[in-house]
Chains A and B, each alone.
Chain A
Amino acid sequence: MGKRTIIPFGPQHPVLPEPVHLDLVMEDEKVVDVIPSIGYIHRGLEKLVEKKEYTEMVYVIERICGICSFGHGWGASAVIEGALGIEAPARAQYLRTIWHELSRVHSHLLWLGLLADGFGFDSLFMHCWRIREHVLDLFEKTTGGRVIFSVCKVGGVRKDIDAMTLKEIVDTLNSLKPEIEEVAEVFRKDASCRNRMVGVGTLSYDDAVALGAVGPVARGSGVVQDMRLTGAGVYDELGFEPIIETAGDCQARTEVRIREVFQSIELIEKAVAMIPDGPIEVPAKGNVENEFIMRMEQPRGEAFYYAKGAGSKFLERMRVRTPTNQNIPALVHMLKGCDLADVPILVLTIDPCISCTER
């Protein structure tokens, strides 16, 4: 047995845009144990329920994370709608689904770029982010914001998208398809990508289930788990089927996300074709009496929202459990036994969102 060394990883690290800290216990080049420590971004925003009314809480929850901000806005609105016993009208549900899938496209492209950056493939990083900018332009055009939208509210959405703009969204996404295809081919075929990903950090089906992995991490290991199957939004009407890969390594997780980009584009296309006319909001009035649980499929996996009212405009509890939180045990498991050089790639393949985790 070699001598054990502890190498600190983070909180300020070139591959991480956000701070997370891992203590890596090393034996020579191999990681034998990992102790994650978080808390650098802990703000305590769940406690703001005491100071903000439930309609205002949507803004706060949306700012948990700037990447999946639409999903958080939707989750917070939906859970309060559930507790109030109201339902957003059909057109609002379609619009929410379109925006949510758009944010999945932008989030996965962002992540693909970060992954390429993680193994030093800078031109690939730049291309992913170049394509992503077109998606952000669509957001800016429809909501007014690039990363924080505040377009979801309790009872519906704030803005409608007219038919012309809907068509433009589909046209833009279709024109991006060949470019995304080109980038995806590099991730799939290029030796410098494959060497860093194939067979690295394999998570078996059983481990993925036992460790409670969610999102693309679980689906990359063959677990059929996608919260879009729970009936939120209009995914049932669109005939949604989750994307599953079975290899369980970094390549499989990447492949899940690449295929999800194309799937999201298809879903948006279908939603635009099927969107009904009608109102985009119902009034949200009264006090919250009940408790309700809502789960949404964020780009990173299952997010959990729990709202409990106490008969006033202020909620008693608003709990958000984000996907990264649930994936940390799986990450710790994957890191054990890997090489030091693979640590950044492995940390990236769970698509960590630390702002989400710590709230």
Chain B
Amino acid sequence: MSEKKFMIQNFEQVEASNLLPRVREMFEGGYRLGQACATKQADGNIFVLYSFDKDHVLYNLKVNVPSNLELQSITDDYWPAFIYENEMHDLFGITFKHLALDYQGKFFKVSTPTPWNPQN
């Protein structure tokens, strides 16, 4: 079982300031963006998980979101990330700076604004 590719779970903790250079490295290494999602932890802090795929093996970057809820957008390297970043903006209230295609909170129309936000 251990030789199966889906059992390989790579997680790497990255500082928010070091996110863009690290993403650039992934981009240059030929990785494809699998997804990005945010998770609210029990202590109220949010981290964002970026998953990259190469040859059917995933590599994940974990970034703790600073308390001002601002992150750099990775749409410079990975344009399709606009979907995930807009989603995180609408559901978690995380602001992404220099977002390539910004829906300004109109991507998901939700009855309660930013339902996953720690303040709610």
Q: Answer yes or no: A and B touching, Cβ < 8 Å.
A: yes
Q: Does B108 lie within 8 Å of A326, measured CB to CB?
A: no
Residue B34 lies at the interface, judged by CB distance under 8 Å to chain A:
yes
What is the size category of the interface that chain B forms with chain A? 35 or more
- Bound-state Cα–Cα, A319 to B37, Å: 7
The contact of A209 among B32, B42, B83, B108, by CB within 8 Å, is B32
Residue B49 lies at the interface, judged by CB distance under 8 Å to chain A:
yes
- Bound-state Cα–Cα, A308 to B56, Å: 21
The contact of B6 among A294, A328, A358, by CB within 8 Å, is A294
Q: Tell me the minimal C-beta distance from A75 to chain B in angstroms.
A: 11
Q: Does A39 lie within 8 Å of B107, measured CB to CB?
A: yes
A87 / chain B contacts, CB cutoff of 8 Å? 1
- Bound-state Cα–Cα, A332 to B6, Å: 30
Q: Does B40 lie within 8 Å of A329, measured CB to CB?
A: no
Residue A230 lies at the interface, judged by CB distance under 8 Å to chain B:
yes
* Interface residue SS majority, chain B: mixed
Q: Does A230 lie within 8 Å of B4, measured CB to CB?
A: yes
Q: Tell me the minimal C-beta distance from A165 to chain B in angstroms.
A: 29
The contact of A308 among B39, B78, B116, by CB within 8 Å, is B39
Q: Does B41 lie within 8 Å of A306, measured CB to CB?
A: no
B64 / chain A contacts, CB cutoff of 8 Å? none
What sequence of 0s and 1s flags, for each residue 36-61 of chain B, a beta carbon within 8 Å of any chain A beta carbon? 01011110000001010000101010
B35 / chain A contacts, CB cutoff of 8 Å? 304, 319, 321, 325-326
Q: Tell me the minimal C-beta distance from A270 to chain B in angstroms.
A: 19
The contact of B33 among A212, A236, A358, by CB within 8 Å, is A212
The contact of B37 among A225, A236, A294, A306, by CB within 8 Å, is A306
When C-beta atoms are compared, the residue in chain B nearest to A229 turns out to be: B56
* Interface residue SS majority, chain A: mixed
Residue B9 lies at the interface, judged by CB distance under 8 Å to chain A:
yes
Q: Does B39 lie within 8 Å of A38, measured CB to CB?
A: no
Residue B22 lies at the interface, judged by CB distance under 8 Å to chain A:
no
What sequence of 0s and 1s flags, for each residue 283-304 of chain A, a beta carbon within 8 Å of any chain B beta carbon? 0000000011111000000101
Residue A27 lies at the interface, judged by CB distance under 8 Å to chain B:
no
When C-beta atoms are compared, the residue in chain B nearest to A358 turns out to be: B108
What sequence of 0s and 1s flags, for each residue 197-236 of chain A, a beta carbon within 8 Å of any chain B beta carbon? 0000000000001111000000000000101011110001
Q: Tell me the minimal C-beta distance from B67 to chain A in angstroms.
A: 20
| B78-120 interface with A by 8 A CB criterion | 78-80, 82-83, 91, 103, 106-110, 115-116
The contact of B39 among A232, A295, A316, by CB within 8 Å, is A316
The contact of A306 among B4, B49, B83, B106, by CB within 8 Å, is B49
- Bound-state Cα–Cα, A295 to B79, Å: 22
- Bound-state Cα–Cα, A319 to B84, Å: 12
- Bound-state Cα–Cα, A302 to B6, Å: 13
- Bound-state Cα–Cα, A220 to B38, Å: 31
What sequence of 0s and 1s flags, for each residue 37-57 of chain A, a beta carbon within 8 Å of any chain B beta carbon? 111001010010000000000
Which B positions have Cβ atoms within 8 angstroms of A? 1, 3-7, 9, 11, 32-35, 37, 39-42, 49, 51, 56, 58, 60, 78-80, 82-83, 91, 103, 106-110, 115-116
Q: Could you jot down 18 A-B contacts, CB within 8 Å?
A: A39-B107, A42-B110, A44-B91, A210-B79, A212-B34, A225-B56, A229-B5, A231-B7, A291-B11, A294-B6, A306-B49, A308-B39, A316-B40, A319-B39, A328-B83, A329-B79, A329-B80, A329-B83
Which A positions have Cβ atoms within 8 angstroms of B? 37-39, 42, 44, 47, 82, 87, 209-212, 225, 227, 229-232, 236, 291-295, 302, 304, 306, 308, 310, 316-317, 319, 321, 325-326, 328-329, 358
Q: Which 7 A-B pairs have the closest CB atoms?
A: A231-B4, A329-B80, A321-B35, A317-B39, A39-B108, A230-B6, A230-B5
